[in-house]
Structure 1
């Protein structure tokens, strides 16, 4: 039987007035019942409301109700965000015992939806033993999988590219060190495309050239990833990586992420198994579309465009952007941006119905990265974001609407997470993994581990020759 509490106790827990609690009861925001002239409130309902609206803090806690008879492989999650990767891994048959996340609103989302999952905050605060204890694991109990997407910003192609010397880059290394100490059978690193070219150390462009020393190995493109894979090799873990487009796994979205799969047994893991392809080649299904994902939604919470932008949106049809306006209207709409370089395809952009969405961003109404509904004069709603990233409609998101967009926009699509989980589950079971030779996993070239290493070796050789030439006075 659920615990019930009074108006006074509910107001104290939520740090709001008793009158506000009564209003929430009348509006149905809190699960409650009338008792005489007052209300009796379901205590669990108070917790859910408090987490969703940020009136309550999601505290660290160990895993609850651990079922020791559960035979599912055990997974631990770090940098969990809104749990997109976790849900995909869970869907493939894993027991996700622990989530580690520092962001306040993501922590509340985790607590709302997975209250029994252990919740930790800053990864730097925990030892391997403390992680085991929080997840309800014995000292010698095997961990089947550790997964995580360390902060993207340090490696993002849009950032300042400070690499692993960025404070967030150090968190990246903490994750690898912790995973290697915990020694799971497999662990996964998920990151942005910029990881493929990010240097270990970034030298500003104004300090390069004939008047400055030659770039060091750590300053070469890809130096950070080279450092990471050397660390893996020295630990005895094998690995494979590629840049994967989530549309190839059923997500109605073009979203490309680097996924590194590391194996304790020293055998190189195969690449992820695609389920879809752009035109249905290789005997696979065609990519999923925006229409299939969002067309039957009826309830929407969304931001709005300013009227000066709506003026132009009313001239555009599904799948169009500013380039489809008359030339003089383009100049008027774009202002100085009209004359700048780049494709600028994110300006005044309506999604097309019959293809996947472009990559969801953390804010759908910023001028250079608009994500407008195909026909309605508004940005995509939070509910549409969830559908495109494949979150369940019932998945509660904590915090104000901007934070909800951010949580979903930063997430790993569920189908991509599921592809990772299925691959590792099959490896654990010793099942045969189908291979797709020459499959186009992304829009870019030289993104697999084999191709990347060949390109990096050529760069190192060229660097060595250039350095030798300078030392001999021929530079």
Structure 2
């Protein structure tokens, strides 16, 4: 058996361009010798390098192996494990660049898409840096996508808005996107963005004896500020809170998607492919059983034994409320007497419904994601299926970090819907929305409805002033 391989063989094995393999040889990252003008690589060294790729921090690098441009170009920011990007790629885009600061996500990107340009902290770059890394000269950028960190806007957090470093990353993304001037910008975020103020005033500093809230302190002030930036730049936009189950995902994950158009027109909403309402004539939502019932291998965290005691008494679709009352009190402790639905405690998922939103840890007490029949949390393989990642998509880092990467991702089905939508807009294909289709369970989530509500709040503020 040969102990030496060619540049081409190493390229196929590692999934890198031949150009990058030569660079690794020159810098002795892989043991190789040059015979004339041809590199010959030590096979064992190449295999060791492949193993080490799972544990190292991926370095910044430009796009490799850029050939004749046949597909529309997309640039990705806050790329994570590339869920949104894979959907957009599936719709026909060339994801030329990924920008991500998390070391495990960076390594995942490098392993699976080694030719895609990789950059780190968005705050370190200007438009010229992005173009250079993506090997763009005079090409027009078709699409920029990004999901800035959502903690600054999450209803579960402190709601610091743009006064949080993560909120500033949101503004940096928006300004950088405007500077790069793509045909379309797509921004993804959590529902909390719709109600988060730009400046948060503590509740103890409101009311009698304190000045009225300013426009930036109103609910939705952060989004209003961002929309003003888009208005000033000439971009038209629309947004809605989309339930990913309406786009073929076995998960009821909801995300705000803002679509911005350089031509100044208001883009139509996404076209759903599924519905839980038969009146629209669409296929029914996909269920969890359809998604995860045929997986052979499972790597998963474990529930503590004291929790397993109760899980063994529960069936598919049940939670702590299905236990006898005396066991409910025993299992929940002080939480039994607190308010709220608490439906995430001791929760077995239902086979016959989509999964609820995947979280970054499937065994946290208040957001358990228990398997429908087995006494364990969902496995990472099941996480990948629910988020629609390919089974062979490699995840870097320890198991807990793999859950985090997949749990934070946008479902690929929703990403594909976005990508297909932009493709249709680029090709001037007519997009027909379904009248009265309810994208989300919440009210006033579309751009038109949201603006009406925000303007009403602003008018009340002006009257008070």
TM-score (norm 2): 0.91
Structure 1 CA distance for aligned equivalents of residues 365 and 107 of structure 2: 30
Structure 1 CA distance for aligned equivalents of residues 342 and 108 of structure 2: 34
- The equivalences for 1:280-429 within 5 A come to 280-429=278-427
Counterpart position of 2:276: 278
> Residue 48 of structure 1: which of 43, 47, 50 is its match?
50
In the alignment, structure 2 segments of 5+ residues that lack a partner are: 1-5, 14-23, 30-41
Structure 1 CA distance for aligned equivalents of residues 94 and 127 of structure 2: 19
> Residue 202 of structure 1: which of 181, 200, 203 is its match?
200
CA contact (8 A) 1:88 1:415 kept: yes
CA contact (8 A) 1:63 1:116 kept: yes
Query: Equivalent residue of 2:53, what SS?
Result: helix
Structure 2 CA distance for aligned equivalents of residues 155 and 89 of structure 1: 25
Deviations 1:413-441 (A, max 9, x none): 00000000000000000101121111110
Q: CA RMSD in A?
A: 1.9
Counterpart position of 2:454: 456
Size of the alignment, in residue pairs? 435
Measure how far apart 1:221 and its partner are. Answer: 0.2
CA contact (8 A) 2:57 2:104 kept: no
Structure 1 CA distance for aligned equivalents of residues 43 and 325 of structure 2: 61
Counterpart position of 2:112: 113
Structure 2 CA distance for aligned equivalents of residues 435 and 442 of structure 1: 15
Measure how far apart 1:130 and its partner are. Answer: 1.0
CA contact (8 A) 1:62 1:118 kept: yes
Counterpart position of 2:172: 174
Deviates more, 1:384-393 or 1:276-285: 276-285
Counterpart position of 2:90: 91
CA contact (8 A) 1:191 1:259 kept: yes
Measure how far apart 1:314 and its partner are. Answer: 0.3
Query: Equivalent residue of 1:177, what SS?
Result: helix
Task: Evaluate the alpha carbon distance shift between residue 257 and residue 137 of structure 1 in structure 2; reply closer, same or farther with a 3 A threshold.
Answer: same
- The equivalences for 1:138-157 within 5 A come to 138=137, 140-157=138-155
CA contact (8 A) 1:201 1:218 kept: yes
Query: Equivalent residue of 1:98, what SS?
Result: strand
Query: Equivalent residue of 1:465, what SS?
Result: helix
- The equivalences for 1:43-82 within 5 A come to 43-52=45-54, 54=55, 56-68=56-68, 70-82=69-81
Measure how far apart 1:308 and its partner are. Answer: 0.4
Query: Equivalent residue of 1:188, what SS?
Result: strand
Query: Equivalent residue of 1:213, what SS?
Result: coil
Structure 2 CA distance for aligned equivalents of residues 44 and 285 of structure 1: 48
CA contact (8 A) 1:280 1:287 kept: no
Structure 1 CA distance for aligned equivalents of residues 86 and 101 of structure 2: 19
In the alignment, structure 1 segments of 5+ residues that lack a partner are: 15-39, 468-475
Counterpart position of 1:165: 163
CA contact (8 A) 1:196 1:225 kept: yes
> Residue 222 of structure 1: which of 207, 220, 223 is its match?
220
Counterpart position of 2:429: 431
CA contact (8 A) 1:244 1:258 kept: yes
Counterpart position of 1:241: 239
Query: Equivalent residue of 1:87, what SS?
Result: helix
Measure how far apart 1:407 and its partner are. Answer: 0.1
Deviates more, 1:273-282 or 1:386-395: 273-282
CA contact (8 A) 1:146 1:186 kept: yes
Task: Evaluate the alpha carbon distance shift between residue 44 and residue 98 of structure 1 in structure 2; reply closer, same or farther with a 3 A threshold.
Answer: farther
Structure 2 CA distance for aligned equivalents of residues 233 and 88 of structure 1: 28
CA contact (8 A) 1:151 1:172 kept: yes
Structure 2 CA distance for aligned equivalents of residues 454 and 283 of structure 1: 31
CA contact (8 A) 1:51 1:109 kept: no
Measure how far apart 1:377 and its partner are. Answer: 0.2
Measure how far apart 1:195 and its partner are. Answer: 0.2
Structure 2 CA distance for aligned equivalents of residues 45 and 448 of structure 1: 51
Query: Equivalent residue of 2:149, what SS?
Result: coil
Structure 2 CA distance for aligned equivalents of residues 151 and 227 of structure 1: 17
Measure how far apart 1:48 and its partner are. Answer: 3.3
Measure how far apart 1:42 and its partner are. Answer: 4.5
Structure 1 CA distance for aligned equivalents of residues 357 and 278 of structure 2: 21
Structure 1 CA distance for aligned equivalents of residues 162 and 186 of structure 2: 18
Structure 2 CA distance for aligned equivalents of residues 394 and 439 of structure 1: 35
Counterpart position of 2:3: none
Deviations 1:430-470 (A, max 9, x none): 10112111111011000000000000011111112223xxx
Structure 1 CA distance for aligned equivalents of residues 118 and 358 of structure 2: 27
Counterpart position of 2:39: none
CA contact (8 A) 1:372 1:380 kept: yes
CA contact (8 A) 1:279 1:287 kept: no
